[in-house]
Amino acid sequence: MEISTRRLLLREYGPGDLDAVHAFASDPVVCAFAEWGPNTPQDTAAFLEECAVEQVAVPRKTWTFAIVWGGSVIGSVALMTGKSDLVHEPGEAELGYVLHRNAWGNGYAAETAEALLAWAGGHLGITRVVATCRPENTGSVRVLEKIGMQQVDHLHEHKRIDGKTRDSLVFAGLLPVGEPAGTSAG
């Protein structure tokens, strides 16, 4: 399956993606606000194996895509529909994304998120999406606001990162349901 945007391609991960994924997943700057990482090579291989399992799961609850620009994997985006502390009802999903730091500041995260959410509304019937970020992660706050999400909560000591409990901002948005442009299933 693939989703195309003006500049990017979102596609399922494959076996040849290990080096590209590890380049951003092992970077402590990229992982500074994440619950995972920096990855070891084994961590990255395990992530790609999880993606392969997700791709054939029935029913599928998680869609994780490589973000590709100019033929190179520059990040990852995921949509999770399984119940969690933030997803409670059918039609809801949680959004997550990460980009190689060389790709920051180009609008790729917002472009990616908008395309994935349009696809999710059109193909999965998702009507509400949530996302979290750390309060000090101003880049992610801007991305979530840019794609039309609004802050709906501030969870104190919500995530454990590098052995410390950290706050999370919770953003939510409603999605239109309909056939999105620029997508293809394969």
Domain ranges of the chain: 2-184
Q: Which CATH architecture has domain 2-184?
A: 3-Layer(aba) Sandwich (3.40)
pLDDT tens digit sequence for 155-164: 999 988 888 8
Integer distance in angstroms from the first to the last C-alpha of the chain? Answer: 4
Which segments of the chain does DSSP mark as H helices, in order? 18-25, 41-56, 108-119, 138-146
CA dihedral 133, 137, 139, 140 (to 10 degrees): 0
Backbone angles phi, psi at 63, to 5 degrees: -120, 110
Contact by Cβ (8 Å): 43, 35: no
Reduced to 3 states (helix: H, G, I; strand: E, B; else coil), residue 183 is: strand
Alpha-carbon span 18 to 155, nearest angstrom: 34
Which is nearest to 92 in space by CA: 121, 125, 126? 126
Cα–Cα distances (Å) from 12 to 63, 94, 116, 161, in that order, read 8, 18, 12, 27
Give residue-wise pLDDT tens across range 55-85: 999 999 999 999 999 999 999 999 999 888 8
List the single range of 4-8, 29-33, 182-186 with lowest mean pLDDT: 182-186
Helix, coil or strand: residue 3 = strand
**pTM of model > 0.85:** yes
Confidence of residue 149 (pLDDT cuts 50, 70, 90): very high
Are 62 and 82 in contact by the 8 Å Cβ rule? The answer is yes
- The pLDDT of residue 161 is 82
Average pLDDT rounded to a whole number, residues 108-117: 96
pLDDT-derived band at 181, boundaries 50, 70, 90: very low
